[in-house]
Amino acid sequence: MALGYLLAVLATLASGTGSILASMGVRRAGAYGGRSHDLIALRRQWLYFLGLGVDLLGFACAAAALHRLPLFLVQSMLAFSVGVTATISAFMGARLRASGWGALGVGATGLVLLGVSAEPGPAQALPPQWRWSLVGMAIPVAAIAVYARRHNQVRATVALAFGSGVAYSVVGISARTLDLPDVAWRLVLEPACWSIVLNGLTAAVLFAMALQKGGPTGVSAIMFTTNTALSSFVGLVYLDDHVRDGFVTAAAIGFVLAIAGAIAVAHYSADTRQKDLTATPVGMRA
């Protein structure tokens, strides 16, 4: 199952790198306002679309890894892709404090513990009615967006971040249980495929709305925790994901360290970006 670990690592690297490329495209286009017409400027930014392409490649690697590895491992690694983004940013000149590097070390330690604790293997097949239920999850989650458009309270931001985490966890569960047909066109008949598309789009929209209403640290923390905890629970209880004998404690500690590290890195990275913007004269900002 070495291929599964390789695919999971590639997915993590691609997700973190894609975020950097997309961010560079946004910076060059000057699309910071959060308004719809600001996004029109992105149409000529090839870096932005390259970033999206790398993200899609990362998702393909993650989906392939989920056919071989438990959800609690792959989802934790994807959550820690924020560490890849922070590391690349540091090498490109962004300042990351010692506490940020410490958070990276904590998260990496957690991933190592999860890696040695996970028992590779395929997931248990879901009955057809449950697979269609995953498709239907996009409807109640999308309803959160309708609620949030009419409310600006803190709880609307929390609801959006939570909803995006739920939708992303459904994407992971669907990828883990996807039954690949012998003929490619039969994918259109596979409920898990539709679940991945619909819930993936819903998650992306809710996460973007949450970032417009709240700070990136809090939003990312809620999304990471919900996504990883929910999908891991479903994998362990319903999909026959396993921890190696004698490694339950190591897996539990690794899970906590990986998620805490991802959230801490997101916090210190956001704090660093905010200080850089505050310290830079307005005329000198990109």
- H or E element at residue 242: strand 242-243
Q: How far apart are CA 133 and CA 125, in angstroms?
A: 14
- Beta-carbon contacts of residue 33 (< 8 Å; ≥ 6 apart): none
Predicted confidence band of residue 278 (pLDDT cuts 50, 70, 90): very low
For 33, other C-beta atoms within 10 Å of its C-beta total 10
In this prediction, residues 2-24 reach a mean pLDDT of 89
In 3D, which of 165, 255, 254, 260 has the Cα closest to residue 206?
165
- Whether residue 65 contacts residue 74, with contact meaning beta carbons closer than 8 Å, is answered with yes
Average pLDDT in the chain? 83
Q: How far apart are CA 144 and CA 159, in angstroms?
A: 7
- The residue type of 24 is M
In this prediction, residues 262-277 reach a mean pLDDT of 67
Which residue reads 């990828």 in tokens? 175
pLDDT at 118: 93
The percent of residues above 70 in pLDDT, for the chain, comes to: 86
Predicted confidence band of residue 100 (pLDDT cuts 50, 70, 90): confident
Task: Please check the confidence at residue 213 and state whether its pLDDT lies above 50.
Answer: yes
In this prediction, residues 60-85 reach a mean pLDDT of 91
Who has greater pLDDT, 32 or 187? 187
Task: Please check the confidence at residue 195 and state whether its pLDDT lies above 90.
Answer: yes
Q: How far apart are CA 278 and CA 137, in angstroms?
A: 41
At 236, list the tokens.
Answer: 């362990």
Q: How far apart are CA 27 and CA 42, in angstroms?
A: 10
In this prediction, residues 88-113 reach a mean pLDDT of 87
Residue 95, classed as helix, strand or coil, is coil
Task: Please check the confidence at residue 102 and state whether its pLDDT lies above 90.
Answer: yes
